[in-house]
Structures are given as structure tokens and as C-alpha cells.
Amino acid sequence: MLNAAGEPQNIVVLGGSSDIGVAIARRLAAPSTKSIVLACRRPEDAPTDGLRRPGLTVDAVSFDAVRVEHHATFVDSLASSLGDIDVVVLAFGQLGEQSRFDDDPVAAADLVTVNFAGAVSVLLAVARVMRRQGHGRIVVLSSVAGERVRPANMVYGSTKAGLDGFALALGDSLVSSGVSVLVVRPGFVRSAMTQGMDAAPFATTPDAVADATVKALRAGRRIVWVPGVLRYVFMVLRHLPAPLWRRLPLG
């Protein structure tokens, strides 16, 4: 349960090897925080050592976004072992290459399963547990790629568009329950996921995304753009005529 200062006792990162997810957990962890759980497909890859300190338990556990049939049981087991789940950060997802998806529809469907179907499944399970306990904060890592989906990454972008819309509606459904949802819309993030790629304008870092996320959580925000200027950039891009949109050098 959150203490009197609003500090989380128990934090769960779904996608526990994510640079951004771990950075958010690190900044959320207060002196009174008791437990951080990094849940990912390969727990051995979770950077637990960088989070450890006296009085704080850091565990890496197995979680597979594709195994939707196990999500409800998984979240229930976390709630049972932790007591309450104060903050859940949904940070898993795959990027992939559109050129591959053009020739491999099955690979495209696999990405959709991870990024959207898996996220919907586990978020509903988390919301059910938090609604029952009467409090909780859910952080969903979306992307500006979902604001207007580009042909160059249309499979990935469409999954983020779907996730973003679902997360906002989920937050609306939880009003008055004591549970809130924060949607984080970063631009290009220099991280392990984008290593080797050319950075887009207004590129940012996992630490900057984490700082903005924690600030937005404390302010009770519903959406946060990182960096903030992208909110205004996409106010324009979202409404460009299609012929002009297609000609932009956005990759």
C-alpha cells in the first residue's frame, strides 16, 4: 500500500529487462519501498543488481506476454506474495522491421500478439487486482508511433495505437476505483531496443523518460509526452493531408 507520503511499497515491471521500465522503477523506489519485481521472459537478463539496496528486495521472475492464458494467475500470485501491488509498469514490447513483416505475415501477427494482445490481457488482470485492493497506479509505455501510423513501421505503430487507446479507456473505466492509468508517449528513445538505428528528431533517453514519468505520476497526469514538445509536433502531424504526410522523410 502507498504510505502516508504516497510512496509505493511494491513495484512490478512487466518487461523487466526494459531499459525504460527499470529506469522508472529506480526513480520510483523510495526509502520505504519494500519490493521491486522485474517480470520478463528471461529473468536472467533482468538487471537486478543495479536496483538492490539494504531493505529493498529485488526479484526477477518469469513472465511471457504471449502466454495470455497464464496472465490472470500470474498477477494473482504476485498480489498474494506481495500483499498489495502499488505500481505496475507495462514496459514490454517488440519493434521488428517492417520489411520483414511485408514478407512474413506470421511474424507480423506474432508482434501484434506481444505488443497488443498480451498487453490487453495482463492489464485487465492487473486492473482487476487493483480494483479489488482499492488502489494502484498503472504506467503504460506507449509511443508517438501510434499517434499517426507510418507505412515505414505500420505493424509496430498500429500496435501502439491500439495499446494507447485501450490504456486510456481502461483508465476511464477505473475512475472512482482508487486506481489510475498513466499513458507515456515517448519519441525515439536511445536504448537497447533501438541500438544501431538512426535517431529521429527530439530523440530522448530512458532516464529522461523515467524522470518525466515519475513527475507525471506525482502530478496525477493521464498522459505524458517525452519530450514534451512532441505533443505540439503531433498536433500538426496528426492533421496533415495524406499526400503530404506520405511525402515526409520520417523513415
Q: What are the residue numbers of the active site? A: 156
Nearest Cα neighbor of 48 from 21, 8, 86 is 21
Strand-strand pairing, 179-186 and 10-14: unpaired
How far, in Å, CA of 239 to CA of 251, rounded? 19
How far, in Å, CA of 109 to CA of 68, rounded? 15
Would you say 123 and 75 are in contact if contact means Cβ atoms under 8 Å apart?
A: no
| Residue-by-residue DSSP string for 22-36 | HHHHHHH--TT--EE
Contacts of 218 (CB under 8 A, 6+ apart): 6
How far, in Å, CA of 60 to CA of 115, rounded? 21
C-alpha cell at 190: 536511445
Nearest Cα neighbor of 96 from 86, 108, 87, 84 is 108
